[in-house]
Amino acid sequence: MVQLQPYTPPPWAAKLGLVPAQRYRLAQLPTPVHPWAVPGLPPGCELHIKRDDLTGMQLSGNKVRKLEFLLAEAREKGHDSVITIGGIQSNHARATAVAARYLGWDAHLVLRNSRHLADSDPGLVGNLLVERLVGAHIWQVTKEEYGRYGGPALGERLAEQLRRERGLNPYIIPVGGSSATGVWGYLDMIHELEQQIAGQGFTDIAMACGSGGTTAGIALGNHLSGLGLRVHAYGVCDDPAYFYEFCDGLLAGLGATPDVVGADSAAMFRAVQAKGAGYAISRDDELALVAEVAATTGIILDPVYTGKALHGLVSEMRANPGAWAGRKVLFVHTGGLLGMYDKAAQLAPLVEGAGRAHRLALD
């Protein structure tokens, strides 16, 4: 089911650092691109969608593209298990748990929870159900502990414990899979896109930005390949200055510093603040857009990433429609469906208000 294959980078990326020699084939690629009739777009503006929510591997979204390279590196370096880190509803942690199980490896997940919840069983909502079904080990920490130690130190601490107590040699994947190696997943996605949209007149690409690896890969790939799109990254946490700095670091890890590639992050993409009330906290207007888009187009976004990103994009379009006239925009749907279950209570009035559940009268 899972194959390790030799990897040849796209020609424009061959001179970068950390060129992977191999990748695991885990994702269903290429993912489709199709028009997307979101209501209320400015006149003369066309929107299409890149369906990275359909990469497969139990709804793994954008994370599986990174995991193909990360897990190949882990195997190459002789590891036998994985550790990763994230929020309690981390899509990345769930994708990692599934991918690890495909390989026959154990996944250990350090998950950040509220202080009053971290000592009790985290339950089975959304991503947790999938993680626990595939037998991942969950290690909860409080938000305060996460803030005090930081993700890398917590990963290292657990790794030390697993080496000592279980004789494992775990590979630590950073938050969101966003290491320089993980970025290859989205450099390769740009190569896929080059073949898919060549000559079709696309002008812009937009996506959610959380841990930054997806944006870094898309932005660098777009720059090096000459695809020439304007890149809009809608940040769902932190702020634009943070994303430029963090992505500069990722790109430096690939040897893609400004003196080599002729641009830094800020020249390669536009970071837009879209976090609203905060990471993983949904405002009603964001969820209303998610519900409207589902009801009109059949595409289901997620509340934490893609819902906020599309809300950011559509808000910009509605505020300044003239600037978007004549543009052909590709929105990358990065997945996250399971995160919706965590917001069921907040979504209920929007969904039930539509009044579509009836009692079928018989006789």
Ligand X SMILES: *Cc1c(COP(=O)(O)O)cnc(C)c1O
List, by residue number, the catalytic residues.
90
Work out which of 87, 213, 221, 312 binds ligand X, going by CB under 6 A: 213
Question: Which of the ranges 122-130, 207-215, 256-264, 282-290 carries the binding residues for ligand X, by CB under 6 A?
Answer: 207-215
Backbone angles phi, psi at 325, to 5 degrees: -60, 135
Work out which of 20, 155, 174, 212 binds ligand X, going by CB under 6 A: 212
Distance CA 251, CA 183 (A): 9
Q: Does 235 bind ligand X (CB under 6 A)?
A: no
**Minimum separation from the CB atom of position 114 to ligand X (A):** 20
Q: How many helices (H) and strands (E) does the chain have?
A: 14, 12
Q: List residues bridging with 191 in a β-sheet.
A: none
Q: Does 221 bind ligand X (CB under 6 A)?
A: no
Report the chain's C-alpha Rg in angstroms: 20
**Buried b vs exposed e over 22-60: b needs ≥16 C-beta within 10 Å?**
bbbebbebbbebeebebeebbeebbbbbbbbbebebbbb
Nearer to ligand X, 158 or 209 (CB): 209
Decide: helix, strand or coil at residue 11. helix
Work out which of 100, 335, 342, 343 binds ligand X, going by CB under 6 A: 335
**Minimum separation from the CB atom of position 210 to ligand X (A):** 3
Backbone angles phi, psi at 123, to 5 degrees: 85, -165
Question: Which of the ranges 2-10, 252-260, 299-307, 323-331 carries the binding residues for ligand X, by CB under 6 A?
Answer: 299-307
Distance CA 49, CA 71 (A): 28
**Minimum separation from the CB atom of position 63 to ligand X (A):** 6
Report the sign of the C-alpha dihedral through residues 172, 220, 265, 243, in that order. negative
**Minimum separation from the CB atom of position 163 to ligand X (A):** 28
**Minimum separation from the CB atom of position 359 to ligand X (A):** 36
Residues 122, 138 contacting (CB under 8 angstroms): yes
Interface with ligand X in residues 50-89 (CB under 6 A): 61-62
- Residue 219's CB is within 10 A of a number of other CB atoms, namely 33
**Interface map 12-51 toward ligand X (x if CB under 6 A):** ----------------------------------------
Q: Which amino acid appears at position 14 of this protein? A: A
Place of tokens 């509605």: 318
Q: Does 176 bind ligand X (CB under 6 A)?
A: yes
**Minimum separation from the CB atom of position 60 to ligand X (A):** 9
Q: How far is CA 20 from the centre of its chain?
A: 20
Nearer to ligand X, 81 or 214 (CB): 214
Nearer to ligand X, 113 or 178 (CB): 178
Residues 36, 297 contacting (CB under 8 angstroms): yes
**Interface map 118-157 toward ligand X (x if CB under 6 A):** ----------------------------------------
Work out which of 27, 83, 209, 274 binds ligand X, going by CB under 6 A: 209
Nearer to ligand X, 162 or 188 (CB): 188
Work out which of 42, 87, 307, 336 binds ligand X, going by CB under 6 A: 336
CA distances from 206 to 43, 129, 302, 311 (A): 19, 30, 15, 11
Tell me the number of residues near ligand X by CB under 6 A.
Answer: 20
Token pair listed for 349: 């009035």
Omega of the bond prior to 30 within 30 degrees of 0, cis?
Answer: yes
Nearer to ligand X, 20 or 42 (CB): 20
Binding residues vs ligand X (CB under 6 A): 61-62, 91-92, 176, 178, 208-215, 302, 305-306, 334-336
